[in-house]
Structure 1
């Protein structure tokens, strides 16, 4: 198969009509995850579809799965779903999405009783509008949301506080001259690590608990060159940042930024070789890296899953049942993972 970039892949293999759906590979964790065991956490899988649905599947801490995917309706009239992200705060799953050309919206699903709030516009002023890329992470009871207008270079940030109030206005963090193609973010210890894909490169910065930011650096400069990148997903495990990057040649590469700021260089785990992914997302579930993948297998789209254990070993990739999905030939578009307590 010839190499395609992310948009070419979406248009040719996913039969996307006018606008490319952009997935946000993001792993976020509920407060206290670092001190809990893997069995204490459920991993929530949200798949966006070209039919403008958000489908949810759950891997329970004991290793079993929900019997089927279930729909979370993003909008009563099913406007186009352009991007999606999620983060767990206690038993609540916070979902941020761009539905229609209306900027980012937010909803909350209570995983304890299954109730959900409707999607509503994020009320912070002076932020991105139109078709927007989104990424979200939780720190304590706060939800941090990052967003960028597709194909623009401006990166914005806002916060939802534990009492449900939002920052009055979005803050524009910086502008990237070559535009932003993808955003990812994750809590790492007490900080927030954020990365953007710009012109095929992964640029990364860290927000301290006091709100100050480091400069933006090229991850490949520290962790090794892997070629042009389409998408990146981040997960914080303890004080280390795990990075999984997807390249235009369908490679999935993993690197770690340690607490002392040194890097374990990018490697392509053997269990991920030879796959044809088009979206990936990672999350920390009790100290283990959960990785979800949307990929092509025998000409069909499938969702799959693997785990990187705390000892660094990777489990075999296994397909996730398609029960509940209406069509897996060309309907899946993007995937995000988040964790909530059992």
Structure 2
């Protein structure tokens, strides 16, 4: 079978999976109490080099993992996914990805079913207006999903366009989408953004961390009605662990926790931005876990158990051979040893992991 035929077979199988799923999303009835295990689950989605195919698994509250499932392709075609972001709200995972300017939006409900609310039609355009008027051309394509967060019960999606600028779009609670908004004019210029993460710490704010020029930068919008603060150099107010390469952030107990990888993949570092705006120093995660995941090329994190008295941070890194390694930072500040995800997840995924994204609540 040719590579193209194999690629088509993978996508047709995914299309069949989508078609078999009902379009409605299960929700918890008003007044009902969610199961304690739900907010403790960690959602891991990876992109692979097998035709850029994404796969998903869940780490349950008891530490076990679900089998790998392939994330469906809403377009029913052999196109792959070059970047993705996901976030979780009320036990439901919202995932956005893109490939060659096509934007896909999928929802994974509490029963584990993936659906595309807009069928095979993109929910939002893959072209965005260029901020400065008079430019030719007047639009530029979306090239990369940067991050996402649930703010005031709405899904905020951040993406990077061909001009290098970040853009934001909002999916409202009723399922409708707003328009793309260019953010560079609000945020200021820190140079070329090479990695990025979005998070909320209280459900109303929106905080960004970005890697540019080997440094880590941070900005915050207190509410959707407020302006973003100016980019701040995190290493300058925390500590400098070296050259930053990748970043992931999550809100934990009203504070922002950040994991940065760098130094040619040789280091993984963690810091906390407190509610008062001060930062801890960056700690060496490999030293804290007493384990080495190899040369790290990406990181995904999420908070879990945030609705209980013992919130923790779950971290997955991917290395240069496609290996996936997971650790937990407990509410006490202690870390578990990096564990081999592929060795613990039942079954296998096609290809090698290239990027990772985490979600939880």
TM more than 0.5: yes
Contact 2:296 2:319 (8 Å CA) reproduced: yes
Aligned to 2:249: 234
- 2:39–2:91 contact (8 Å) kept in structure 1: no
Alpha-carbon displacement from aligned partner over 1:270-293 (angstroms, at most 9, x marks no partner):
126643211111101011000011
2:52 counterpart residue number = 52
1:13 match: none
Equivalent position to 1:143, from 155, 175, 183: 155
- Name which structure has the greater RCO, CA cutoff 8 Å, separation 6+: 1
The equivalent position to 1:188 in structure 2, one of 198, 201, 218, is 201
Cα displacement (A) at 1:38: 7.2
Q: Tell me what 1:317 maps to.
A: 338
**Aligned 1:119-130 pairs, distance under 5 A:** 120-123=121-124, 126=128, 129-130=141-142
Q: 1:279 aligns with which of 295, 298, 301?
A: 298
Task: Give the match for residue 106 of structure 1.
Answer: 105
Query: In structure 2, what is the equivalent of residue 171 of structure 1?
Result: 182
| 2:317 corresponds to which of 273, 293, 301 | 293
Q: 1 CA distance for matches of 2:166 and 2:160?
A: 5
1:191-222 Cα shifts (integer Å, max 9, x gaps): 11112211222211001123321111111111
1:43 aligns with 42
Q: Which runs of 5+ in 2 are unaligned?
A: 1-33, 130-139, 306-310
SS where residue 312 of structure 1 aligns?
A: coil
Q: Higher strand fraction: Structure 1 or Structure 2?
A: 1
2:268 is matched with which residue: 221, 234, 252?
252
SS of the residue corresponding to residue 321 of structure 1 reads: helix
- Relative to 1, partners in 2 of residues 1:113 and 1:46: Cα closer, same or farther, differing over 3 Å? closer
Offset from partner CA, 1:137-191 (integer Å, 9 cap, x none) = 11242111111126x4311111111111111342334363621111201111231
**Separation of aligned partners in 2, 1:102 and 1:272:** 42
Cα distance between partner residues in 1 of 2:226 and 2:178: 13
What is the Cα-based RMSD across aligned positions, in Å? 2.4
Instruction: Give the secondary-structure state (helix, strand or coil) at the position aligned to 1:284.
Output: strand
Cα distance in 2, alignment partners of residues 256 and 248 from structure 1: 20
Contact 1:106 1:120 in 2 (8 A): no
1:222 maps to 2:237:
yes
Give 1:111 deviation, angstroms. Answer: 2.9
| Larger Cα-atom Rg | 2
Q: Is the deviation greater in 131-140 or in 53-62? A: 131-140
Conserved 8 A contact 2:209-2:217: yes
Task: Give the deviation of 1:43 after TM superposition.
Answer: 0.8
Could you state the TM-score of these two structures normalised by the residue count of structure 2? 0.76
Q: Report the Cα distance in structure 2 between the residues aligned to 1:240 and 1:91, rounded to whole angstroms.
A: 21
Deviation for aligned residue 1:121:
2.8
SS class of match (2:183): strand
Partner of 1:17: none
Q: Which runs of 5+ in 1 are unaligned?
A: 1-34
The separation in 2 between residues aligned to 1:58 and 1:321, in whole angstroms, is: 12
Contact 2:205-2:221 within 8 A present in 1 as well:
yes
Q: Using the alignment, how far apart are the partners of 2:150 and 2:120 within structure 1?
A: 18
Q: Is the 8 A contact 2:71 2:114 kept in 1?
A: no
* Count of residues in Structure 1 that have an aligned counterpart in Structure 2: 298
Contact 2:291 2:338 in 1 (8 A): no
Distance verdict in 2 for CA 1:113–1:103, change over 3 Å: closer
1:120 Cα offset (Å) = 4.6
2:24 alignment counterpart: none
Q: CA deviation at 1:119?
A: 6.5
Asked if the contact 1:153/1:176 (under 8 Å) is kept, the reply is no
What is the CA deviation profile of residues 13-36 of structure 1, one whole-angstrom value per residue up to 9, with x for unaligned ones? xxxxxxxxxxxxxxxxxxxxxx99
Distance of 2:121 and 2:209 partners within structure 1: 26
